[in-house]
Chains A and B, each alone.
Chain A
Amino acid sequence: MKLKPKLAISDSGFIFDPSTGESYSLNEEGLIIVQFLKEGKNEEEIKEHFLNEYDIDETTFSRSYLDFISMLKHFNLIEHE
Chain B
Amino acid sequence: MEKKTFERPVIKKVQIGMPSKFGLKSEYAPIKEIDGIPVKNLIEQYGSPLYVISEQTIRETYTEAYKAFSTRYPKVQFAWSYKTNYLDAVCKIFHQEGSWAEVVSGFEYEKALNNGVPGNKIIFNGPYKTREDLIKAIENNSFIHIDHYDEYYLLIDLAEELNIRPKVAVRINMDTGIYPQWSRFGFNYENGEAWEIIQRILISNKLDLVGLHCHIGTYIMVPWAYANAMYKLIDLFLGVEKKYNKHLQYIDIGGGFASKNTLKGAYLPGTDTCPTFDQYADAITSVIINSSISIEHLPVLILETGRALIDDAGYLLGTIHATKRLPDGKNSLITDLGVNLLFTSFWYDHKITPAQEFGPYTEETVVYGPLCMNIDVIREYVQLPPLKKGDHFVISRIGAYNMTQWMQFITYRPNVVLIDTNKNTHIIRKAETINNFNNLEQTPEHLKKIE
Contact = CB atoms under 8 A, between A and B. Distances in A.
Are A and B physically bound partners?
Answer: yes
Interface of A: 14-15, 22-30, 32-34, 50, 53-56, 60-61, 63-65, 67-68, 70-72, 74-75, 77
Contacts of B329: 71, 74-75
A26 B9 CA distance: 8
B35 to A, nearest CB: 28
A60 B10 contact: no
Contact of B13 (A22, A28, A61, A70): A22
Contacts of B388: 60, 63-64
B423 interface: no
B325 A67 contact: yes
Nearest to A67: B325
B389 A30 contact: no
Given A23-B13, A27-B359, A71 B325 contact: yes
B243 interface: no
A27 B7 contact: yes
13 contacts: A22-B13, A27-B359, A30-B9, A50-B6, A53-B3, A54-B4, A55-B5, A56-B3, A63-B388, A64-B6, A70-B325, A71-B325, A72-B11
Given A61-B6, A67-B325, A71-B329, A27 B386 contact: yes
Of all A-B residue pairs in the complex, the 6 with the closest CB atoms, nearest first, are: A27-B361, A30-B9, A29-B9, A56-B6, A55-B3, A23-B14
A55 B83 CA distance: 46
Interface in B6-32: 6-14
B3 A68 contact: no
A26 B11 CA distance: 4
A14 B14 contact: yes
B323 interface: yes
Contacts of B9: 26-27, 29-30, 32-33, 64-65, 68
A60 B388 CA distance: 8
Contacts of B4: 53-55
A27 B325 contact: no
Contacts of A53: 3-4
B40 to A, nearest CB: 15
Contacts of B12: 24-25
Contacts of A24: 11-14
Contacts of A60: 6, 388-389
Contacts of A61: 6
Interface in B252-286: none
Assign chain B's interface to a size class: 20 to 34
Contacts of B6: 29, 50, 54-56, 60-61, 64
Contacts of A30: 9-11
Nearest to B362: A27
Nearest to B2: A55
B13 A75 contact: yes
Contacts of B14: 14, 22-25
Given A25-B12, A30-B9, A55-B6, 9 more contacts: A15-B11, A56-B3, A60-B388, A63-B388, A63-B389, A64-B6, A64-B8, A64-B9, A74-B325
A63 to B, nearest CB: 7
A57 B197 CA distance: 72
A15 B325 CA distance: 21
Contacts of A72: 11
Nearest to A70: B325
B323 A67 contact: yes
A63 B8 CA distance: 9
Of A30, A50, A72, most B-chain CB atoms within 10 Å: A30
A53 B5 CA distance: 9
Nearest to A50: B6
Contact of B7 (A29, A33, A74, A75): A29
A28 B398 CA distance: 34
B3 A25 contact: no
Given A27-B386, A28-B359, A63-B389, A71 B3 contact: no
Nearest to A73: B329
Contacts of A26: 9-11, 361
A3 to B, nearest CB: 12
A28 B325 contact: no
A56 B7 CA distance: 9
B306 to A, nearest CB: 42
Interface string B356-399: 00010100000000000000000000000010110000000000
Interface in B92-113: none
Contacts of B7: 27-29
Nearest to B329: A74
A71 B10 contact: yes
B359 A68 contact: no
A23 B16 CA distance: 9
B402 to A, nearest CB: 32
